[in-house]
Chain A
């Protein structure tokens, strides 16, 4: 079984340039202020994210769903 396909792993999606700008301006921050995710992370690989992309993560805690964002970095 692949850990990329596990039920408990939330979906990761690459945001388009315009979406990124929207998200950042709504939060009043720059890309550097976002939490990071390694480009080598299994989920980032699955989404085929590259250095500099922003991933949107569909999280669910206590039955409530919300979006989380991570800045993809290569290291």
Chain B
């Protein structure tokens, strides 16, 4: 059924008569309960306002706590007060009307002209859109008119000279020097005619302005402000009730003083106090007045505070709701489960339920399930009428007989169930994926390392949420559209996002080296950990080559070839014949074409299997091989040390030479640069070159037996640059302005320790020490300057781009691609005739390319 479409909503203001009509009780006693603990008649918890205590009957509708919706009451204020939230509108109305005849301060021609403009706007709008909206032009016209009205000196209708009316936040009005009392304001507002109000943008049918000055205050039913009974038996009232008590107390005192004929000053003081209480009752954060406080010193939460902000009714209860069938806990790693699995703690599995729909074909199975009285058992039974019954020892027999097709059994979560797993912030669609449940001991959710990437999760205390789809349709949709293995390729550019890293990459890299040979025991151990029950063909000497062991993990018959400037990788008929597995073809990123080849030929299931098996084998081989790292990886040989020293002296000499050339004006200027700029540029190039040759020296002298080098070469972590910086020297540090560091101390030098006008390598942030040697204090500062620059840049960039991305995502979230490849929004508006101009899905573009070959 199509839900009713709301075309229009109109808000109005209750008139004083409406308030009294709506009210079921006039409240007169500023108190809540009497000594016996019963609500006082005419008090703030009067039983006519509804009941919330079980056992009591509502005096208005006769309903009990559950059936009575609550009823409004009212307080009659002895002196009127201004509704502070509307003070600005009252001000506008007072400014716009004559103080004597209360007509709008426009002459008749102006009124006619304005009316004409309004009707023209309305008809123009009315043709296109169904709902008459306040157009920008209309708003602007109104604004400019109000400005004009403020400066009118004399009423065009009765020629009265207008006095200045001053408005001071939150509720004070002055005419000349004299303060305007609320009752005077009310009388002034009451005299404005309906026609004039229309010009001022007020619809007098739903909101007469004099209703903005309150005579009778509407009191919400007790259901809105329930009192809480503490364990000690003490009653604690809601903040709103407290505030209403305050209002009534002052109201009563004011009445007594008036009746006793007290002096005007006392009455005025009490009146103002009443105004204060009513103002804070509506909004306790009204600017210009101190917030009303609880006895404990806590500011009271009044009406506006209930609705406003992150914890208000809208954002907390309406836009965001707590859901059933969900769980949240800390996550941690488990390399032994599959990428599309999630480890669920036993305690959570026992709490969460999955529906078992009883049909005529599975009634027997349902009964068997229902009979169980340990772990995967039925918790609730939902009968045909939708009533949910908890299973107890007492009613089990009965229910066993009762169940028939149409019943739903709510069964505890068990292995193999489908669950949606989510980590906030949910920035993209793969922040929620479908996993298969594995029930495990412990208290944390478990996922594998490759599955962390799309969630951007790590295990330093991250928490994640689990949701259990409750219908078969939802389960199927989750399983086939949202399963982890279907999200291996990024919807952004088709790059691989779910892949192995770190030890996974190193393990594969070592295993597939040309000279890797394994004994039978070792090969058996590796393959069985990976879940493969066969051995590959042995070499002549009875050993097994690493490449062959790796090939056992590949889908049978796979053909794949990949080549780059320094790598070649060939798989023929399911056998790795050439190349070494490294991060480029096995890790995440655009360069991984192996995964694409597997999916294109064998599907996502085969890829999942390959990924799971290969990572297990990789971890096992790392252990077998003994991958480790220590300070020794960064120690230089005597030979290298000497080479490094001479490189540094050479470089320094070169820089010095350039400076000399500059001073004697012999330096060749570079294109488009001043001589000074050219000097800087050539020095920077020279210093970069030094680091480049240091890297060359290093990579020539150490090989993969060095584990630091091994990490860099396999692509698992770090690069040769990092190794160089640790063992040779750090090199030039960059300043935030780009270029060498030169500022800091006032005479254009970084520190007072550096002689003036010294511009050589060391003085401008070239670090000669390595991390292993340790930095000198000056070098340390240079490094810190460079480090700060990077941190600031990174921070600014992520913040900006994050917000840009969020706004874009929010603007586009309801668009979808229809079956004809056109893009529509929820109202079937056409956005694009063909998605992206080519209707291509980035995750699948590469498949097409593979197949073309």
B residues near A50, Cβ cutoff 8 Å: none
Cβ-based interface call for B834 (8 A): yes
Contact A33 B827 (CB under 8 A): yes
Cβ-based interface call for B393 (8 A): no
Task: State in angstroms the CA–CA spacing of A73 and B124 once bound together.
Answer: 12
Task: State in angstroms the CA–CA spacing of A46 and B414 once bound together.
Answer: 68
Contact B828 A33 (CB under 8 A): yes
Contact A66 B834 (CB under 8 A): yes
Q: Mark A29-73, 1 if CB is under 8 A from B, else 0.
A: 100111100000000000000000000000101101011110001
| Nearest-CB residue, chain B, relative to A32 | B829
Cβ-based interface call for A27 (8 A): yes
Task: State in angstroms the CA–CA spacing of A29 and B820 once bound together.
Answer: 13
| Nearest-CB residue, chain A, relative to B836 | A61
Give the Cβ gap from B831 to chain A, nearest Cβ, in Å.
7
Cβ-based interface call for B234 (8 A): no
B818-853: which have CB < 8 Å to A? 820, 822, 827-834, 836-838
Contact B830 A35 (CB under 8 A): yes
Contact A35 B831 (CB under 8 A): yes
B residues near A69, Cβ cutoff 8 Å: 830, 833
Task: State in angstroms the CA–CA spacing of A53 and B831 once bound together.
Answer: 18
Give the Cβ gap from A25 to chain B, nearest Cβ, in Å.
13
Chain B residues with a Cβ closer than 8 Å to the other chain, count: 14
Picked from A27, A32, A61, A73, the residue with its CB within 8 Å of the CB of B822 is A27
B residues near A66, Cβ cutoff 8 Å: 833-834, 837
B residues near A27, Cβ cutoff 8 Å: 820, 822, 830, 833
Q: Mark B465-479, 1 if CB is under 8 A from A, else 0.
A: 000000000000000
| Nearest-CB residue, chain B, relative to A61 | B837
Task: State in angstroms the CA–CA spacing of A32 and B830 once bound together.
Answer: 9
B residues near A62, Cβ cutoff 8 Å: 837-838
Picked from B828, B832, B836, B838, the residue with its CB within 8 Å of the CB of A29 is B828
What secondary structure prevails in chain B residues at the interface with A? loop
A1-33: which have CB < 8 Å to B? 27-29, 32-33
A residues near B128, Cβ cutoff 8 Å: 73
Contact A29 B830 (CB under 8 A): yes
B742-799: which have CB < 8 Å to A? none
Task: State in angstroms the CA–CA spacing of A34 and B831 once bound together.
Answer: 8
Task: State in angstroms the CA–CA spacing of A64 and B840 once bound together.
Answer: 11
A residues near B820, Cβ cutoff 8 Å: 27
B residues near A64, Cβ cutoff 8 Å: 837-838
Contact B837 A59 (CB under 8 A): yes
| Nearest-CB residue, chain A, relative to B840 | A62
B residues near A32, Cβ cutoff 8 Å: 829
A residues near B832, Cβ cutoff 8 Å: 68
Task: State in angstroms the CA–CA spacing of A27 and B828 once bound together.
Answer: 10
A residues near B830, Cβ cutoff 8 Å: 27, 29, 33-35, 69
Task: State in angstroms the CA–CA spacing of A64 and B837 once bound together.
Answer: 7
Task: State in angstroms the CA–CA spacing of A67 and B838 once bound together.
Answer: 12
B687-738: which have CB < 8 Å to A? none
Task: State in angstroms the CA–CA spacing of A5 and B122 once bound together.
Answer: 38
Give the Cβ gap from A11 to chain B, nearest Cβ, in Å.
15
Picked from A28, A68, A73, the residue with its CB within 8 Å of the CB of B833 is A68
Give the Cβ gap from A33 to chain B, nearest Cβ, in Å.
5
Give the Cβ gap from A18 to chain B, nearest Cβ, in Å.
19
Give the Cβ gap from A67 to chain B, nearest Cβ, in Å.
6
CB-CB under 8 A for A33 and B829, given A62-B837, A66-B834: yes
B residues near A35, Cβ cutoff 8 Å: 829-831
Contact B833 A67 (CB under 8 A): yes
Task: State in angstroms the CA–CA spacing of A69 and B830 once bound together.
Answer: 9
| Nearest-CB residue, chain A, relative to B834 | A66
Task: State in angstroms the CA–CA spacing of A61 and B838 once bound together.
Answer: 7
Task: Pick the most buried of B831, B833, B834, B836: most chain A CB atoms within 10 A of its CB.
Answer: B833
A residues near B827, Cβ cutoff 8 Å: 33
| Nearest-CB residue, chain B, relative to A62 | B838
| Nearest-CB residue, chain A, relative to B128 | A73
A residues near B837, Cβ cutoff 8 Å: 59, 61-62, 64, 66
B residues near A28, Cβ cutoff 8 Å: 828
Give the Cβ gap from A3 to chain B, nearest Cβ, in Å.
22
| Nearest-CB residue, chain B, relative to A33 | B829
Task: State in angstroms the CA–CA spacing of A32 and B825 once bound together.
Answer: 13
B residues near A67, Cβ cutoff 8 Å: 833
B248-276: which have CB < 8 Å to A? none
Task: State in angstroms the CA–CA spacing of A28 and B837 once bound together.
Answer: 20
| Nearest-CB residue, chain B, relative to A66 | B834
Q: Mark B367-389, 1 if CB is under 8 A from A, else 0.
A: 00000000000000000000000
Give the Cβ gap from B617 to chain A, nearest Cβ, in Å.
41
B residues near A29, Cβ cutoff 8 Å: 828-830
Give the Cβ gap from A15 to chain B, nearest Cβ, in Å.
13
B residues near A73, Cβ cutoff 8 Å: 128
Task: State in angstroms the CA–CA spacing of A59 and B836 once bound together.
Answer: 12
Give the Cβ gap from A22 to chain B, nearest Cβ, in Å.
14
Q: Mark B568-580, 1 if CB is under 8 A from A, else 0.
A: 0000000000000
Task: State in angstroms the CA–CA spacing of A62 and B834 once bound together.
Answer: 13
Task: Pick the most buried of B128, B827, B830, B831: most chain A CB atoms within 10 A of its CB.
Answer: B830
Give the Cβ gap from A74 to chain B, nearest Cβ, in Å.
10
A residues near B831, Cβ cutoff 8 Å: 35
Task: State in angstroms the CA–CA spacing of A15 and B833 once bound together.
Answer: 16
Task: State in angstroms the CA–CA spacing of A73 and B128 once bound together.
Answer: 10
Task: State in angstroms the CA–CA spacing of A33 and B820 once bound together.
Answer: 16
Task: State in angstroms the CA–CA spacing of A27 and B824 once bound together.
Answer: 10
Give the Cβ gap from B425 to chain A, nearest Cβ, in Å.
32
B624-670: which have CB < 8 Å to A? none
Give the Cβ gap from A55 to chain B, nearest Cβ, in Å.
13
Task: State in angstroms the CA–CA spacing of A1 and B654 once bound together.
Answer: 54
Task: State in angstroms the CA–CA spacing of A3 and B827 once bound together.
Answer: 34
Task: State in angstroms the CA–CA spacing of A59 and B829 once bound together.
Answer: 19
Task: State in angstroms the CA–CA spacing of A67 and B827 once bound together.
Answer: 21
Task: State in angstroms the CA–CA spacing of A66 and B830 once bound together.
Answer: 15
Task: State in angstroms the CA–CA spacing of A66 and B838 once bound together.
Answer: 9
Give the Cβ gap from A62 to chain B, nearest Cβ, in Å.
5
Task: State in angstroms the CA–CA spacing of A35 and B837 once bound together.
Answer: 16
Task: State in angstroms the CA–CA spacing of A68 and B838 once bound together.
Answer: 13
Q: Mark B6-39, 1 if CB is under 8 A from A, else 0.
A: 0000000000000000000000000000000000
Give the Cβ gap from A31 to chain B, nearest Cβ, in Å.
10
Give the Cβ gap from B37 to chain A, nearest Cβ, in Å.
63
A residues near B822, Cβ cutoff 8 Å: 27
| Nearest-CB residue, chain B, relative to A63 | B838
Give the Cβ gap from A46 to chain B, nearest Cβ, in Å.
21
Task: State in angstroms the CA–CA spacing of A64 and B834 once bound together.
Answer: 11
| Nearest-CB residue, chain B, relative to A64 | B838
| Nearest-CB residue, chain A, relative to B829 | A33
Task: State in angstroms the CA–CA spacing of A27 and B834 once bound together.
Answer: 11
| Nearest-CB residue, chain B, relative to A67 | B833
A residues near B836, Cβ cutoff 8 Å: 61
Give the Cβ gap from B48 to chain A, nearest Cβ, in Å.
52
B residues near A61, Cβ cutoff 8 Å: 836-838
A residues near B834, Cβ cutoff 8 Å: 66
A residues near B828, Cβ cutoff 8 Å: 28-29, 33
Task: State in angstroms the CA–CA spacing of A69 and B831 once bound together.
Answer: 10
Task: State in angstroms the CA–CA spacing of A38 and B685 once bound together.
Answer: 54
Task: State in angstroms the CA–CA spacing of A73 and B833 once bound together.
Answer: 19
Task: State in angstroms the CA–CA spacing of A28 and B838 once bound together.
Answer: 21
Task: State in angstroms the CA–CA spacing of A27 and B831 once bound together.
Answer: 12
Question: Can you list 25 A-B pairs with a CB-CB distance of less than 8 A?
Answer: A27-B820, A27-B830, A27-B833, A29-B830, A32-B829, A33-B827, A33-B829, A33-B830, A34-B829, A34-B830, A35-B830, A35-B831, A59-B837, A61-B836, A61-B837, A61-B838, A64-B837, A64-B838, A66-B833, A66-B834, A66-B837, A67-B833, A68-B832, A69-B830, A69-B833
Q: With A27-B822, A66-B834 given, can you name 6 additional A-B contacts, CB distance below 8 Å?
A: A28-B828, A29-B828, A29-B829, A29-B830, A61-B838, A68-B833
B positions within 8 Å CB-CB of A: 128, 820, 822, 827-834, 836-838
Closest 6 CB pairs of A and B: A61-B837, A33-B829, A66-B834, A64-B838, A62-B838, A68-B833
